[in-house]
């Protein structure tokens, strides 16, 4: 996806409204006039890494002197160069001296030795005079220490430029670092009166091809896609990314309390799926493992999967963004467990009448018991509306 994003961007749409064709650029200029311009250019670099860096954050770095971009870089796949090192390497390969320059980075430079050395040290050693970071890194291994190392080395540091945009770019990583679980995005396609399928389960297609393609772009940026056994039985989905180009496929996860999934289910094609159960059926689990899948047993005590524990387990497994495409039962259970952060709703301009709904929730006796949401983003996708509504606590 690299050539979709020009290197120098200074007027960027809100990253919270991505995808929709993953358009990020609206205007290109030749010089960086201020810190906002510099950070927008860095965010555009981070967008190159939208589908490739998991479990690491998507970070962009742009090195500027006198309004001119000297070098730029973005986070490479896990185990390879971080954005700052990527930019510094480009400068070195071009024979560019970056001493006295300003580095714009979308996330605080790291301060620890992992699979790569500390980026804060690399920037200071290169003679960078000033670092502008969009946000601090809540990773306990960093958590302000990168900025402190830069200041101790005599580098001027500023934090907070385009912080909201940078947060949206890495909302899953930041959420996992703070709460230990992924950002959970529940995708729903519905009619204007809230129907997601006819009573007999027919649902293909309520929304347009444009909406479905956009949904695939949201799949692509997720670390994993989750569904339930009911959806597998009813629709037999592949649950992969097909409508947009992507260098990797998200992990596929099926909540299947009784391990009833059929070996020929499309979601199992190619191996590598995670099946989450409430029972430890040795024979069925052995069959799945022999086909290259993993069985995770997390009982709730009531014959169901403990969804809250599942989210903590996915956080432990470094899942940043979890994309849910499930039916009304599992959607209701996830919402009831309080583990959903955002609804990604595609609403078609049609009415279905009696139909299956978005989520099976308990009947309320009082309106003040309703589940509060707030609209984060609303836009048109083809003939449909795309609404992103966040839970009040998210």
The CA–CA distances, whole Å, from 336 to 168, 249, 298, 325, 370 equal 25, 29, 17, 16, 11
**pTM here?**
0.89
**With pLDDT > 70 as the criterion, what percentage of the chain qualifies?**
91
pLDDT of residue 26: 32
> What is the Cα–Cα distance from 387 to 11, expressed in whole angstroms?
23
- What DSSP character marks residue 318? T
115 Cβ contact list (under 8 Å, min separation 6): 78, 79
> What is the Cα–Cα distance from 164 to 129, expressed in whole angstroms?
25
> What is the Cα–Cα distance from 259 to 279, expressed in whole angstroms?
7
- Catalytic annotation on 68? no
Please tell me which residue in 84, 108, 321, 325 is annotated as part of the active site.
84
Q: What is the mean pLDDT of residues 205-215?
A: 95
Q: What is the mean pLDDT of residues 122-134?
A: 94
Report strand pairing: 294-297 vs 60-65. unpaired
Q: Per the omega criterion (within 30 degrees of 0), is the bond before 223 cis?
A: no
Where residue 112 falls among pLDDT bands split at 50, 70, 90?
Answer: low
> What is the Cα–Cα distance from 42 to 39, expressed in whole angstroms?
5
Q: What is the mean pLDDT of residues 377-394?
A: 92
Give the tens place of pLDDT for each residue, 38-79: 999 999 999 999 999 999 999 999 999 999 999 999 998 877
Taken in order 73, 75, 79, 85, the sign of the CA dihedral is: positive
């Amino acid at each position: 996806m690299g050539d979709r994003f020009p290197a120098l961007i200074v007027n960027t749409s809100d990253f919270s409204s991505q995808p929709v064709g993953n358009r990020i650029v609206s205007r290109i200029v030749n010089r960086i006039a201020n810190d906002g311009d510099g950070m927008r250019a860095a965010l555009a670099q981070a967008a190159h890494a939208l589908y490739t860096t998991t479990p690491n954050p998507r970070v962009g770095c742009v090195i500027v002197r006198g309004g001119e971009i000297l070098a730029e870089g973005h986070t490479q796949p896990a185990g390879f160069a971080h954005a700052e090192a990527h930019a510094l390497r480009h400068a070195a390969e071009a024979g560019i001296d970056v001493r006295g320059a300003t580095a714009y980075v979308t996330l605080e430079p790291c301060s620890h030795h992992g699979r790569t050395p500390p980026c804060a040290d690399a920037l200071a050693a290169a003679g960078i005079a000033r670092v502008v970071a969009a946000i601090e890194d809540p990773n306990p291994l960093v958590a302000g220490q990168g900025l402190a190392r830069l200041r101790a080395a005599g580098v001027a540091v500023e934090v907070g430029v385009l912080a909201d945009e940078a947060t949206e770019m890495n909302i899953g990583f930041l959420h996992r670092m703070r709460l230990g679980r992924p950002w959970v995005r529940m995708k729903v396609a519905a009619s204007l009166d809230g129907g997601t399928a006819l009573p007999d389960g027919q649902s293909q297609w309520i929304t347009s091809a444009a909406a479905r393609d956009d949904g695939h772009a949201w799949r692509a940026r997720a670390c994993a896609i989750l569904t339930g056994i009911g959806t597998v039985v009813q629709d037999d989905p592949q649950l992969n990314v097909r409508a947009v180009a992507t260098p990797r496929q998200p992990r596929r996860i099926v909540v299947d309390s009784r391990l009833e999934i059929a070996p020929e289910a499309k979601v199992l094609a190619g191996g590598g799926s995670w099946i989450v159960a409430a029972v430890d059926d040795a024979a069925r689990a052995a069959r799945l493992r022999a086909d290259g899948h993993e069985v995770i047993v997390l009982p709730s005590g009531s014959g169901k999967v403990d969804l809250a524990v599942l989210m903590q387990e996915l956080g432990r497994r470094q899942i940043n963004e979890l994309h849910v495409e499930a039916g009304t039962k599992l959607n209701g259970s996830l919402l009831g467990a309080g583990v959903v952060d955002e609804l990604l709703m595609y609403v078609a301009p049609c009415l279905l009448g009696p139909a299956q709904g978005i989520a099976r929730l308990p009947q309320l006796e009082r309106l003040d018991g309703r589940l509060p949401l707030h609209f984060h983003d609303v836009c048109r996708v083809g003939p449909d509306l795309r609404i992103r509504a966040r839970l009040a606590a998210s």
